Amino acid sequence: MSILVNKHSKIVVQGITGRAGLFHTRQCREYGSTIAAGVTPGKGGTRIDGIPVFDTVEEAVQTTGADVSLIFVPSSAAADSILEAAAAGIGLAVCITEGIPVRDMVLVKRCLQGGAMRLIGPNCPGLITPEECKVGIMPGSIHQKGRIGVVSRSGTLTYEAVKQLTDIGLGQTTCVGIGGDSVIGMNFIDVLDLFNQDEETEGVFMIGEIGGGAEEEAALWIKKNMKKPVASFIAGLTAPPGKRMGHAGAIVSGGKGKAEDKISILKESGVSVCRIPTQMGETMLSALNG
Q: What is the CATH number of the domain that holds 268?
A: 3.40.50.261
Amino acid at 60: A
What is the CB neighbour count within 10 angstroms for residue 250? 23
| 159 shares a domain with 52 | no
| 163 and 276 inside one domain | yes
CA distance 229 to 262: 18
From 118, 28, 17, select the one nearest 74 (Cα to Cα): 17
91, 120, 149 - which closes a domain = 120
How many whole angstroms separate alpha carbon 199 and alpha carbon 106?
34
Domain end (from 87, 120, 153): 120
Number of domains composing the chain: 2
Do 116 and 144 fall within a single domain?
Answer: no
In this structure, the answer to whether residues 52 and 18 fall within a common structural domain is: yes
Does 282 lie in the same domain as 211?
yes
**Residue 3 located in a structural domain:** no
Q: Which domain holds residue 198?
A: 139-288
Query: Is position 218 within any domain?
Result: yes
Whether residue 1 lies inside any domain: the answer is no
Same domain, 268 and 144: yes
Q: Cis omega before residue 122 (within 30°)? A: yes
Per-residue pLDDT 10s for the chain (290 aa) are: 689 999 999 999 999 999 999 999 999 999 999 999 999 999 999 999 999 999 999 999 999 999 999 999 999 999 999 999 999 999 999 999 999 999 999 999 999 999 999 999 999 999 999 999 999 999 999 999 999 999 999 888 999 999 999 999 999 999 999 998 989 999 999 999 999 999 999 999 999 988 889 999 999 999 999 999 999 999 877 666 655 555 555 454 444 578 899 999 999 999 999 999 999 999 999 999 98
204 and 163 part of one domain: yes
CATH of the domain at 16: 3.40.50.720
Please give the order of strands across the beta sheet that includes 92-95: 47-48, 51-54, 34-39, 10-14, 68-71, 92-95, 118-120
pLDDT at 252: 47
- The rounded Cα 273 to chain-centroid distance in angstroms is 21
Q: Is residue 133 part of a domain?
A: no
Sign of the alpha-carbon torsion through 229, 136, 4, 146: negative
In a domain, 47, yes or no: yes
Number of H helices, E strands in the chain: 9, 14
Residues 156 and 27 both lie in one domain: no
The pLDDT value given to residue 246: 56
The answer to whether the beta carbons of residues 139 and 163 sit under 8 Å apart is: no
Nearest C-alpha neighbor of 221 from the set 270, 287, 172, 286: 270
Domain match, 114 and 184 both? no
Instruction: Examine the domain organization and report whether 152 and 93 are in the same domain.
Output: no
The CA-atom distances, in angstroms, between 104 and each of 56, 107, 145, 213 are 21, 5, 36, 21
Q: Is 247 annotated in the active site?
A: yes
Contact between 1 and 200 (Cβ < 8 Å): yes
